[in-house]
Amino acid sequence: MTWIYCAISFGAAPPSARFLCGAGARRLQFCIAALLMAGLGATASAKESYKFDPSGSTIGFSVHQFLGTTRGKFTNFSGTIEVDREHPENSSVTAQIDVRSIDTRIKKRDDHLRSAEFFNVEKFPRMTFKTRTVKRTGPQSGDILGDLTMHGVTKPITLHVKLLTPINETGRTRWSVTTDPITRRDFNLMFPPAAESVSGISQTVAINIEIEAKRAE
C-alpha cells in the first residue's frame, strides 16, 4: 500500500504541526480535495431516512353525510421521511397514495368513488404530497407546508406533525399528522349536479393520519 503524506506548512509552525508531502503541489491539491469530499460526506450523512410502514400506519378520512359520518382509509401507500436533527428546517416528507385502495367498508360505494364520476382512478391513479418547507413548533412537533396533488389538481396544505414514539433500538418511529379539513370542490371532487344535490355529503373532509416509519437500510 502506498501512503500519501501531505505537507502543509503554516508560517513558523513547529515540525510536529507540519505534514510532509513528498509529491509536491499535485498531491497537495489531491489531499485538499479529499478532505473537502470527506467533509461533504459527513454533512450528507447527518440526514436520516425513514420509510413508511403501511402495516403499522393509517391514512384515514371522515366526512359528514346527512346526520351521520362516513369513515374510510387508503390501504396502499408509500413515503419517505428525511430527518435532519441539527437543522429540522431541512427535513422533508414525500408520500404517494394509491387511490384505488380506498376502503369505506362498502364495496358498492368504493367502486362508485373510484369511477369517473368522482376520483376517476383510471385517469388519476395516485395522490402525492411533496414538502416545500418545514418549521419546528415544539420539541417534538412541527409544521410541514407542501403540495398535495389529487385528481389532477395541486394545492398547498400544511401538515401538523407530532412525534409520538421516539426512535427505538429497532430504528422505528411513529408520528401523528393533522391538517385543516380538505374542501372537495378545491380538487374538483364533485358528483354530477343532480347526484350532488341529493347526496347530503359535506364539502369538507377531515384527515386522520398516523405514520409508523422504519429507518432505511
Look up the pTM and report it. Answer: 0.77
Confidence bin at 38 (pLDDT 50/70/90): very low
Nearest Cα to Cα of residue 38 among 27, 30, 48: 30
Specify the pLDDT at position 170: 80
Whole-number mean pLDDT of the chain? 84
Specify the pLDDT at position 26: 53
How far apart, in whole angstroms, are the C-alpha atoms of residue 136 and residue 138?
A: 6
Specify the pLDDT at position 10: 34
More confident call, 67 vs 2: 67
Nearest Cα to Cα of residue 214 among 179, 175, 160, 178: 175
**113-143, pLDDT tens digit by residue?**
999 999 999 999 999 999 999 999 999 999 9
**42-101, pLDDT tens digit by residue?**
444 478 999 999 999 999 999 999 999 999 999 999 999 999 988 989 999 999 999 999
Q: Is the pLDDT of residue 21 over 60?
A: no
Minimum mean pLDDT range among 27-31, 101-105, 208-212: 27-31
Specify the pLDDT at position 197: 86
**What's the average model confidence in pLDDT over 202-207?**
97
Measuring CA to CA, how many Å separate 60 from each of 74, 93, 101, 114, 214?
6, 18, 11, 16, 20
Confidence bin at 15 (pLDDT 50/70/90): very low
Q: Is the pLDDT of residue 164 over 80?
A: yes
Specify the pLDDT at position 131: 98
**What's the average model confidence in pLDDT over 14-32?**
46
Q: Is the pLDDT of residue 30 over 70?
A: no
